[in-house]
């Protein structure tokens, strides 16, 4: 891995990022010849672009606050707490991915990640990863399964979440659209933000309630099955 200042061209603008290159992939050094992916934008708080030359998916995270509307919150949370301390979204996602990798769970290869140098650039975090072909979202895969297949899927999902909990972590945003299913039927985590499990049993219980409510598993019976499997670890 190496670090460099990198200029990117996108949305008719030129922006500079301090970039940590993980893979020396040709063509990743420029956000040119990109296709915007608004269908992904609608599912997340990020902006997505695809570069066919390098088969790279770029995720750009927008600052939560506007300096014009909420200056002090923008300065404190988006600039000081994230960019200046190095705790911006792309860095957290990269370090979280390494935790999942150590557990033997499948993630997407990362090309590079970085942070905007210009504080007035609202797209402060840049994360570039391989785009996987032949995959479907967890939601689409789950809906297409029969009853035994759905039960097996819930158990597989539970096993991976339990592995993470045994290591002391949980998925910050656990739901079926934050993972893909590849051609071999394996789970591939595409949003890898994890956080340390709180020590308080009350807080862990609230986390489990929130995870199940946001899981995008519409059938109550399968949510209950997932709860039963996860409850001893939360």
- Whether the per-residue pLDDT at 107 is higher than 90: the answer is yes
Distances (CA, A) of 229 to 179, 204, 212, 226: 19, 14, 12, 5
**pLDDT value of residue 166:** 97
pLDDT band at 82 (very low <50, low <70, confident <90, very high): very high
Number of Cβ atoms within 10 Å of the Cβ of 201: 9
pLDDT band at 42 (very low <50, low <70, confident <90, very high): very low
- Whether the per-residue pLDDT at 41 is higher than 50: the answer is no
As a whole number of angstroms, the distance between CA 127 and CA 111 comes to 8
The first and second tokens of residue 115, run together, are: 């942070």
**pLDDT value of residue 34:** 55
As a whole number of angstroms, the distance between CA 36 and CA 44 comes to 14
Global pTM value: 0.85
- Whether the per-residue pLDDT at 116 is higher than 50: the answer is yes
Q: Which residues pair with residue 8 across a beta bridge?
A: 15
At 121-169, the pLDDT tens digits run 999 999 999 888 888 999 999 999 999 999 999 999 999 999 999 999 9
- Which position has the higher pLDDT, 14 or 220? 220
Number of Cβ atoms within 10 Å of the Cβ of 34: 19
* Average pLDDT for 45-57: 80
């Amino acid at each position: 891995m190496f670090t460099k200042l990198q200029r990117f061209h996108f949305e008719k603008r030129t922006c500079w990022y301090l970039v940590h290159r993980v893979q020396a992939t040709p063509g990743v050094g420029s956000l040119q010849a990109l296709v915007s992916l608004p269908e992904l934008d609608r599912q997340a708080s990020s902006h997505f672009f695809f570069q066919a030359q390098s088969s790279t998916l770029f995720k750009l995270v927008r600052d939560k606050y506007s300096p014009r509307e909420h200056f002090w919150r923008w300065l404190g949370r988006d600039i000081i707490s994230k960019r200046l301390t190095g705790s911006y979204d792309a860095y957290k996602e990269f370090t979280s991915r390494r935790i999942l990798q150590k557990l033997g769970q499948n993630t997407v290869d990362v090309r590079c990640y970085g942070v905007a140098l210009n504080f007035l650039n609202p797209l402060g975090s840049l994360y570039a990863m391989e785009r996987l072909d032949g995959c479907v979202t967890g939601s689409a895969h789950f809906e297409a399964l029969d009853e035994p297949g759905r039960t097996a899927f819930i158990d597989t999902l539970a096993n991976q979440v339990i592995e993470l909990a045994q290591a002391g972590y949980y998925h910050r945003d656990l739901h079926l659209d934050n993972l893909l299913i590849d051609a071999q039927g394996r789970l591939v985590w595409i949003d890898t933000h994890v956080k340390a499990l709180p020590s308080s049993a009350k807080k862990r219980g609230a986390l489990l309630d929130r995870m199940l409510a946001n899981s995008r598993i519409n059938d109550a019976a399968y949510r209950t099955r997932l709860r039963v499997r996860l409850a001893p670890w939360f």
